[in-house]
Chain A
Amino acid sequence: MKYFPLIWATLWRKKTRTVFTLLSIVIAFLLFGVLETIDHAFSHPSGGVTGADKLVTTNKYSITLSLPFADAQQIRSVPGVAEATWISWFGGYYQEPKNFVFALPVDTDSYFNLHKGEFVVSDEHMQAYRNTRTGALANSALLKKFGWKIGDKIPLHSTIWTRKDDGSLDWTFDIVGSFSAKDPTQAGAQATTLLFHYELFDEGRSFGKGSVGWFEERVNDASQSAAISSRIDALFANSPNETKTQPANDFAMAFIKQLGDIGFVLRAILGAVFFTLLFLTGNTMMQSVRERIPELAVLKTLGFGDGRVLRLVLAESLLLCVIAAIIGLALSYAMLPIIKIALQGVELTPSALIPGIGVAVLLALIVGAAPALRAMRLNIVDALADKR
């Protein structure tokens, strides 16, 4: 700590240069924070079905191809399957495409039985839902977001399913109740969820009647998941609708990867940013050391050893990079709510920002190494010769 005033004062020797360098690192770490959080969110999905005892069965060839509803009975008959339910992708939004709603047509009994303990919904609201054919249960966050109230009739626009009666893509639901996530960590994942009756959906759509998007199963013994998956898939082997059963989290990953390898794209962007930053900051540090070679020689004359001079320059680099990283990561943390809105349904976690400090330290050591070594190897007499 006793060297801090020296390091700090040296860092701010050329204020404009330091501010611009700091800003460039701040921007890089802001980008790092945002992209890393998004990458983390996509590679650790927690939305929808979760838990080791949950399986998802989709069409073997693509999750966009449907499966016959009738498969449900056969899946339920597989030993070890405690419950099975079926769902389809509705692809809905409210008024504008940016107002994404994770609307799911579900079979009430089997869905809530399978997801027992995951939702908090009052008996009154559940009963109202059961009694209302056009009823929908919306997450309380969704109600708040769009200002919906119990009793409201709300239109949702499907991007896929046309209605049988008028050919439109607009579906109307009665909000009869709300629910929230029992596990607070799932709150974000469920924030845009709206559940409505599968019967209404199946009877109302103009095509695809009797088909489902995918099945979800809960097994009695999670350790038997692999064997049960094989048994389910064996049931439909060589049929027109072969299946692929996998753990629920793997399904969520596969769903996300339809968008492309997000992780690779994000890492490529970050790689380019940090590669540029290495040269920019490295050059600045090198220039800074070059400008004060006589001063470093004076420090050595006063008794600062080679190792200490090396550490001083590295500390300066560390201070610059870590301060900038903290500012950048703090800004990206502040932006989380905005990103959350942009990526509706994706849960973001600040823990993804922690590796940023490690990256900052690594960056500092890399960019500080060359100037620090130069300072360390400085010959006092030669360095002073220019400024005696």
Chain B
Amino acid sequence: MSDQSNHTLVNVDGVEKMFHRGSEDIHVLADLHLKVPKGEFLALMGPSGSEKTTLLNMIAAIDRPTSGELLVMNENIFRFNDSQSARWRNEHVGYVFQTFNLIPVLTAFENVELPLLLTHLSASQRKTNTMAALTLVGIADRAKHKPNELSGGQAQRVAIARALVADPMLLVCDEPTGDLDRKSADDVLHLLQVLNREHGKSIVMVTHDPKAADFASRVLHMDKGALLEAGTRLQD
């Protein structure tokens, strides 16, 4: 194995995605190539419909390409069956949604604990890890609160804690600040930056917001299912 492959966390190689609508084939991603090194904080920008989220979902192993290869940690994740994909996501990927997607009937603690239920950890170990994740995102004091008792920024912190709790190598964030005010958004982005810089988490973040992208170590632009040249900025 080469040094480069050791250094690369995500390797998107010739990935295509096609949908069938009636007799018509719609290509949404065409011959996509992308490498994300370990420890990188990558921002994917682009207008609505540029298929940023489609690419993100594939990296997170919740969607499959029509053709091409996608290696994460040198594993071709599309060779997995559904059950292996689920286990992979649980162990290696933390997903942060735009709308937080916390389970409303569970407390912050219970929401964060969810991925650990799938592990062999004991109840006390789960509690320790869950509280550690909540502390890391600075929301431990809200552990017993339900999502409707949290502000948007707090809810997104809980969601980040849930994404982190199983200690995945990769965080994928889909518009993590899309539903937040500027201050909360900056706090969340700062938190992601800390997780990247101080805790070594690799992050792939989809965003519309150029200010959010400024927190990333690299910014790529997508349009109509294709990655634009590095550094190319769309004129919105």
- Write the residues of chain A forming the contact surface with B, with a CB cutoff of 8 angstroms: 2-3, 5-6, 9-10, 12-13, 294-295, 298-308, 380-381, 384, 387-388
Chain B residues contacting A9 (CB-CB under 8 Å) are: 103, 105-106, 110
Q: What residues of A have a CB within 8 angstroms of the CB of B62 in the complex? A: 300-301, 380-381
Main secondary structure of the interface of A (DSSP, over half): helix
| Binary per-residue interface labels of chain B (42-71) against chain A in the complex, 1 for a CB within 8 Å, 0 otherwise | 000000000001000100101100000000
- Nearest A residue to B162 by beta-carbon distance? A302
Q: Considering the chains assembled together, what is the distance between the CA atoms of A300 and B115 in angstroms?
A: 10
| Interface size range of chain B in the complex | 20 to 34
CB <8 Å contact, A388 and B174: yes
- Contact in complex: A381, B83 (CB < 8 Å): no
B residues less than 8 Å from A388 (CB atoms):
53, 97-99, 174-175
Of A5, A10, A13, A307, the residue contacting B83 (CB under 8 A) is: A307
Given contacts A5-B106, A13-B105, contact A303 B90 (CB under 8 A): yes
- Is A298 within 8 A of B103, CB to CB? yes
A303 to B83: give the CA distance in the assembly, Å. 9
The complex places the Cα of A45 from the Cα of B86 at a distance, in Å, of: 57
Q: A295-B103, A306-B86, A388-B53 are in contact. Are A301 and B98 (CB under 8 A)?
A: no
A6 touches B110 (CB 8 A): yes
B142 within 8 A of A: no
Contacting pair A303 B53 (CB below 8 A): no
Smallest CB–CB gap between A312 and chain B, Å?
Answer: 10
Q: In the complex, what residue of chain A is closest to B89 when comparing beta carbons?
A: A303
**In the bound complex, how far is the Cα of B57 from the Cα of A305, in angstroms?**
17
| Given A294-B101, A303-B90, A306-B82, also A381-B117 (CB < 8 A) | no
Task: Name B165-189 residues within 8 Å CB distance of A.
Answer: 166, 174-175
Task: Kindly list chain A residues whose C-beta atoms are within 8 Å of the C-beta of B63.
Answer: 380-381
Chain A positions within 8 Å of B150 at CB level: none
Select the residue from A294, A298, A307 with max chain B CB neighbours within 10 A: A298
Rounded to whole angstroms, the CA-CA distance of A138 and B118 in the bound complex is 67
Instruction: Tell me the nearest residue of chain B to A12, going by C-beta.
Output: B105
Q: Which residues of B contact A381 (CB under 8 A)?
A: 57, 62-63
Q: Does B223 contact A (CB under 8 A)?
A: no
Q: Which residues of A contact B98 (CB under 8 A)?
A: 388
Contact A302 B110 (CB under 8 A): no
Q: Is B13 an interface residue (CB 8 A)?
A: no
Query: Which A residues lie within 8 Å of B91 (CB)?
Result: 303
How many Å from the CB of B229 to the closest CB on chain A?
Answer: 28
Cβ of A302 and Cβ of B89 under 8 Å apart?
yes
Least Cβ distance of B215 to chain A in Å? 21
Q: Chain A's nearest CB lies how many Å from the CB of B199?
A: 20
Determine the chain A residues whose CB is within 8 A of the CB of B104 once the complex forms. 13
Is B194 part of the binding interface, using a Cβ–Cβ cutoff of 8 Å?
Answer: no
The reply to whether A301 and B95 form a contact with Cβ atoms under 8 Å apart is yes
A2 to B110 CA separation, bound complex (whole angstroms): 11
A sample of 7 more A-B contacts (CB under 8 A), given A6-B103, A306-B82, A381-B62, is: A9-B103, A302-B90, A303-B91, A305-B82, A305-B86, A308-B118, A381-B57
CB < 8 Å: which of B90, B97, B114, B115 contacts A6?
Answer: B114
Residue of A nearest to B98 (CB): A388
B97:A3 contact, CB within 8 angstroms: no
Residue of B nearest to A300 (CB): B86
- Per the 8 Å Cβ criterion, residues 24-58 of B in contact with A are 53, 57
Q: Within the assembled complex, what's the spacing in Å between the Cα atoms of A3 and B86?
A: 17
Measured CB to CB, the closest approach of chain B to A386, in angstroms, equals: 10
Q: Tell whether A303 pairs with B86 under 8 Å between CB atoms, given A381-B62, A387-B99.
A: yes
Residue on A with the closest CB to B122? A2
In the complex, what distance in Å separates the CA atom of A381 from the CA atom of B118?
21
For residue A12, which residues in chain B have a CB less than 8 angstroms away from its CB?
A: 105
Give A387 to B179 CA distance when docked, in angstroms: 12
In the complex, which residues of chain A have a beta carbon less than 8 angstroms from the beta carbon of B126?
A: 2
The answer to the question of B211 belonging to the interface, with a C-beta cut-off of 8 Å to chain A, is no
**Residue B234 at the chain A interface, CB threshold 8 Å:** no
| Given A3-B117, A6-B117, A9-B110: A302 and B95 interface contact (C-beta under 8 Å) | yes
Give the CA-CA distance A184 to B174 in the complex, in Å: 72
Shortest distance between the CB of A4 and any CB in chain B (Å): 10
Any chain A CB within 8 A of the CB of B87? yes
Given A380-B62, A381-B57, A388-B98, check contact A303 B87 (CB 8 Å): yes
Does B18 interact with chain A (Cβ within 8 Å)?
no
Q: In the complex, how many angstroms separate the beta carbon of B7 from the nearest chain A beta carbon? A: 26
Contact between A2 and B123 (Cβ–Cβ < 8 Å)? yes
A12 and B88 alpha carbons, distance in the complex (Å): 31
Please determine whether A302 and B83 come into contact, CB atoms closer than 8 angstroms: no
Cα distance A220–B19 when bound, in Å?
A: 86
Interface pairs (29), CB distance under 8 Å: A2-B123, A5-B110, A6-B106, A6-B117, A10-B103, A10-B105, A13-B104, A13-B105, A294-B101, A298-B103, A299-B114, A301-B62, A302-B95, A302-B114, A302-B115, A303-B86, A303-B91, A304-B86, A306-B82, A306-B86, A307-B83, A380-B63, A381-B57, A381-B62, A384-B101, A388-B53, A388-B97, A388-B98, A388-B175
Report which of B97, B101, B117 forms a contact with A2, defined as CB distance below 8 A.
B117
Question: In the bound complex, how far is the Cα of B63 from the Cα of A384, in angstroms?
Answer: 12
Distance in angstroms from A27 CB to nearest chain B CB is 26
**Please, how many angstroms separate the alpha-carbon atoms of A381 and B53 in the complex?**
10
Chain B residues within an 8 Å CB radius of A5: 106, 110
Contact assessment for A305 and B87 in the assembled complex, using a CB-CB cutoff below 8 Å: yes
